[in-house]
Structure 1
Amino acid sequence: MRLISLNSWCGRALHPLMQFFKSRAASTDIFCLQEVLHAAPGVMEERHPDEYVCGQLYSKMVNVLKDFRGVYAGFDDDPNRMSLATFAKHEVAVKTIEDFVIYKPENPIEKGSAIISARKLQYMVVNVGGRDVMIVNYHGLWVNGPKTDTPERIEQSRSIKKFMDKFDGPKILCGDFNLLPDTESMLILEDGMKNLVKEFKVESTRTPLYRHYTNPDEPNFADYILVSPEVNVKKFEVLPDLVSDHSPLYLEFE
């Protein structure tokens, strides 16, 4: 089974992103995507008047990934809010795809570049070689500051850990965690899991499109894939494709 996790950057690099999906579709079984929009026409132009984001990004993904089943984790209270999307090839034995709110801020901000919004956890259970595997797609809480511990981030990690512990079987947690590797929030998530970014000694999960890419005071980490010990990792790599300010992460497993 081959999986790619990517923060799609709300489609700010739309053309290379669509070309990436076209080129990778045949050799990928599952895409776990963060920062995806499925908004009504005109809403994003109002919320982001000074920058381009693709309000119809999910629909464009659906049009490109024709051999996949896509599921968007929309919010009932604000269907225009960015969220998660998972695409699985039609031949993948998907048993369920669900989502739920994992964090909700008291004072959300939905305009401009400082987006402090509710976060969902999207998870799917697939049959791989006769065994159920849970794959969790996660976009961690963003604050206008460093990716260090905050009470909210620690609470979020504990909630995710509690949820994942309920599943008795192989597990994969992937996405843009918005965390540095040495935080308590990360250690909570790593309990009983292998952090492939650490194991493979990855030096960066960001691209030159990241505004702090050359700033030595801003470590270039945000994205991770964690697996439980039962998952046999055949290949893991940070892909070089320049399609976002985040690098795509590739995992081949069985």
Structure 2
Amino acid sequence: MPTLRIATYNIKCGHGMDGKLDLKRTARALEALGADVICLQEVDMNRARTLYANQALKFAGLLGMEYSFGAAIKYSGGGAYGNAILSRHPIVQQKNHRLPGQGSKRAIQEVQVEVEGSRIAIFNTHMELDQEQRLQQIEGFIVPLVSSYTGPAVLCGDFNEKPQSPGIRCLSRHFKDSLHSNSGKLTLTFPADIPKSRIDYIFLNSKCRALDYKIVNSIASDHLPVLALVEF
């Protein structure tokens, strides 16, 4: 069965815990993960605040990976902000879904990656700060979307929810939390310097299983990256 090293990482648009913008530092942190697929949140494209860099394209070039960018917000003056997926394997299909709800400025990416002749779906999201809206989006959109894929599927992202929150409890009823395969000492992901909560997750459907899992130390962002070895 094929295996894939999958990571999820909120990169805070390249700003580290010191508040400094340093995309080379972010790229080094990404490279150190040794992942085949990396799901990124808080990614800028052509915005003044991050020196007009196309961040997903830049990371893909530095790491020798393919990329897909999914905008959560598009700005009238140009530029966008959202999520990105980097992959060492071919990305053969890609979609970007705006999450429903009044005033929602969030999205979920859906890509299919081909590995050794098999396809696996990767879903990547960064969720709302409002708990009620998160739960509505999880129950009404994300669970049906991911469940509709009949092959192996992985759901990654920054969910802005602790494990006992209603949205994560809902997701845990439908999908497997990769944390159960944790081989590392860390169990919390935010903030990166002194982690106090876990809000970043890698969920798997029934066609996948986690062989390993770890949360990785880094101060290249205010979140810690999460890495899982997935068999499908």
Instruction: Tell me how far apart the structure 2 counterparts of residues 104 and 39 of structure 1 sit (CA, whole Å).
Output: 27
How big is the alpha-carbon RMSD for the aligned residues of Structure 1 and Structure 2? 2.4
AA matched with 2:40: L
Find runs of 4+ consecutive structure 1 residues off by over 6 angstroms: none
* 1:71-120 deviation per Cα after TM superposition (whole angstroms, max 9, x unaligned): 2113574253420011111xx243212111014543xxxxxxxxxx6111
**Counterpart position of 2:95:** 98
* 1:147-178 deviation per Cα after TM superposition (whole angstroms, max 9, x unaligned): xx32x111110110011121112211111011
**Counterpart position of 1:154:** 135
Instruction: Tell me how far apart the structure 2 counterparts of residues 204 and 236 of structure 1 sit (CA, whole Å).
Output: 13
Q: 1:5 aligns with which of 4, 8, 31?
A: 8
AA matched with 2:128: L
Structural mapping, 1:88-237, within 5 Å: 88-89=87-88, 92-103=89-100, 105-106=102-103, 118-143=105-130, 149-150=131-132, 152-158=133-139, 159-197=141-179, 200=182, 203-209=187-193, 213=194, 219-237=196-214
**Counterpart position of 2:70:** 73
Q: Which has the larger radius of gyration?
A: 1
Q: 1:244 aligns with which of 216, 221, 225?
A: 221
1:84 aligns with 2:83: yes
Q: Secondary structure at the match of 2:13?
A: helix
AA matched with 2:229: E
Structure with the largest fraction of strand: 2
Q: Secondary structure at the match of 1:230?
A: coil
* Deviation, structure 1 residue 140: 0.8
Does the 8 Å CA contact 2:66/2:90 hold for their aligned counterparts? Answer: no
Does the 8 Å CA contact 1:84/1:137 hold for their aligned counterparts? Answer: yes
Structural mapping, 1:39-58, within 5 Å: 39-40=46-47, 42=48, 44=49, 53=50, 55-56=52-53, 57-58=55-56
Larger RCO, structure (CA 8 Å, separation 6 or more): 2
Unaligned runs of 5+ in 2: 17-21
AA matched with 1:35: E
- TM-score for the superposition, normalised by structure 2: 0.82
The 1:70–1:126 alpha-carbon spacing in structure 2 relative to 1, beyond 3 Å, is closer
Does the 8 Å CA contact 1:34/1:176 hold for their aligned counterparts? Answer: yes
Instruction: Tell me how far apart the structure 1 counterparts of residues 150 and 160 of structure 2 sit (CA, whole Å).
Output: 27
Q: Secondary structure at the match of 2:56?
A: helix
Instruction: Tell me how far apart the structure 1 counterparts of residues 60 and 150 of structure 2 sit (CA, whole Å).
Output: 32
Unaligned runs of 5+ in 1: 45-52, 107-116, 144-148
Does the 8 Å CA contact 1:37/1:54 hold for their aligned counterparts? Answer: no
Does the 8 Å CA contact 1:10/1:54 hold for their aligned counterparts? Answer: no
Instruction: Tell me how far apart the structure 2 counterparts of residues 120 and 234 of structure 1 sit (CA, whole Å).
Output: 29
Structural mapping, 1:20-39, within 5 Å: 20-24=29-33, 27-39=34-46
**Counterpart position of 2:25:** 16
AA matched with 1:140: M
Q: Secondary structure at the match of 2:45?
A: coil
